[in-house]
Chain A
Amino acid sequence: MAGMSGPPPIEVSQLRKVFRQAASGQAVVAIERLDLHIAPSEVVAIVGQTGCGKSTLFDLMIGLERPTAGSIIIGGKTPYGDFDAFRGQIATVFQQDRLLPWRSALDNVQLPLELLGVAGQARRERSMAWLERLGLAGFANAYPRELSGGMRQRVAIARAFVLQPAILLADEAFGHLDEVTAGELRETFLALARESASTAILITHQLEEAIAVGDRIIVLGKSAKLLADIRVERWTKSDHGVLREAIQATLQSNERDPRLV
């Protein structure tokens, strides 16, 4: 992955993930035979109801979980099997900011660069530049507990972008924030993702967010069954209401909606 000129395509084929419940030993199918192709620099929103396997897909994509069957191939490598090959290539923004409470905002942003061994001065300058871009220049030395929820999430976004990764993954990254803050952060995230030409994958349960952000919306049903794969550009802004309605109906019925085919 090192020395890659641009983001690689992501190929998900026949992906299956089964968990065994610790208490009962019962098998739970989180993802059942999912196929997906995500092109380089695409901004994809993955929507689905709670428990449909979105977060499991997120963990599989960043390589924290091993697929039970099938594969995820990014630039010829698998995120789980070739774990270290993706150092500095994949960055994540989580639902909660997941900042280290003992580090200042600046030190949190520096963390991924420290792990990559970037030298002190360059690391600080790069991190500070990202904090400035996210409007937090005056809070570089503040600890997470001294920042609001929105500010902490900005730090988390800076921490992801400071890597200039090929692939950005966000799991319900703005869902817990108030409407205004979430809207602002969503726009910032999208602008930065487009500017960096990274492939961006946003996992969300909010249809408004998916429609606002994604070039493409992937709708998942139970066990991550692919219900719809929508190119948002084909829908004019005035039709977004119909689109939202159709996705809603698809999610409720767990069946494909003819309007989305």
Chain B
Amino acid sequence: MHPDEYREAGLAGTWSRQTVLSLAIFVVAWEVLSHLAPALGIPAFAIPSFVRIGRSLITITPIDVVVTLLRVIGALILSFALGLLFATAMYRSPKLESYLHPMIRLFMAVPVVSWILFAVLWFRGVEFRIAFVLIAVCGPVFLVDSLDAMRGVSRELRGMMRSFRPTTLQYFSKLMLPAILPNLITSWKINLSLAIRVVTIAELVGAVTGIGHQLAVAQELFSVADVFAWTLVLVALLFLLEAVVSKVEQRVLRWRA
């Protein structure tokens, strides 16, 4: 999604009247349904009231939230570093790119569930498994976006920069990185929502901590209220992270305003 679309969609922290109204309609509809459920033959636990969900929210264990958050941020930083490193190497060496490109396309076509199964079968450590899955899913996104952005840097600017004879490091730090920064921020936004979803599935399968694990526990206890509460936390976490990225974006890309 383009950053402008994020802003328009009200996901960057702005609460339009429409956003508030649509949320209110959902809340009211849910609450009415929760009261009507027994009369409709639906078990009461399937659509819990907001009071029950609120009680679940109070019991949320912050440590699980922190663990999931750290896993997401850690893996995204690693994915970003690796993606940028490989993109730079591929930009500099078309031969390397010709070898790596098909492999990356293959990686991107592998379903998340397959990565999780590979991780469970190949590795022992839980943290390593989760990091592996997240990097396998998010790394190629960073790589492809960075490489495309590098190729998109105008020939004119590249010529101007080279005419001043920079070192390779200067060329990348003074031209390429700032030039591709808008694309990198968009990649972060895309990968944030991707990582939140993937980490939940990965934790669901192989972890004993984190939001994914708590969702698995809630499922075992048939507690829809707990599932709802943890899902709310996940969504809030994603919005919070996106808001942080949007703040960074506003600051570092103020030249575009």
Contact surface of A with B, Cβ cutoff 8 Å: 59, 62-64, 83-84, 86-88, 90-92, 94, 96, 98, 100-103, 111-112, 114-115, 143, 145
Contact = CB atoms under 8 A, between A and B. Distances in A.
Closest 7 CB pairs of A and B: A98-B160, A87-B165, A102-B255, A92-B163, A143-B255, A112-B164, A115-B166
Contact of A100 (B157, B162, B253): B157
Interface string B157-172: 1011011111100100
A83 B165 contact: yes
A84 B157 contact: no
Contacts of B162: 64
Given A63-B165, A88-B165, 4 more contacts: A87-B165, A98-B156, A143-B255, A145-B255
Contacts of A59: 159
Interface residues of B, number: 19
A35 B238 CA distance: 65
B160 A115 contact: no
Contacts of B163: 62-64, 90-92
Interface string B174-211: 11001101000000000000000000000000000000
Interface of B: 156-157, 159-160, 162-167, 170, 174-175, 178-179, 181, 253, 255-256
20 contacts: A59-B159, A64-B163, A84-B165, A86-B165, A92-B160, A94-B156, A98-B159, A100-B174, A100-B175, A100-B179, A101-B256, A102-B181, A102-B255, A103-B178, A103-B255, A112-B164, A114-B174, A115-B164, A115-B165, A115-B170
Contacts of A94: 156, 159-160
A101 B164 contact: no
Nearest to B170: A115
B164 A111 contact: yes
Contacts of A63: 163, 165
A52 B221 CA distance: 80
Nearest to B253: A102
A94 B167 CA distance: 21
Nearest to A86: B165
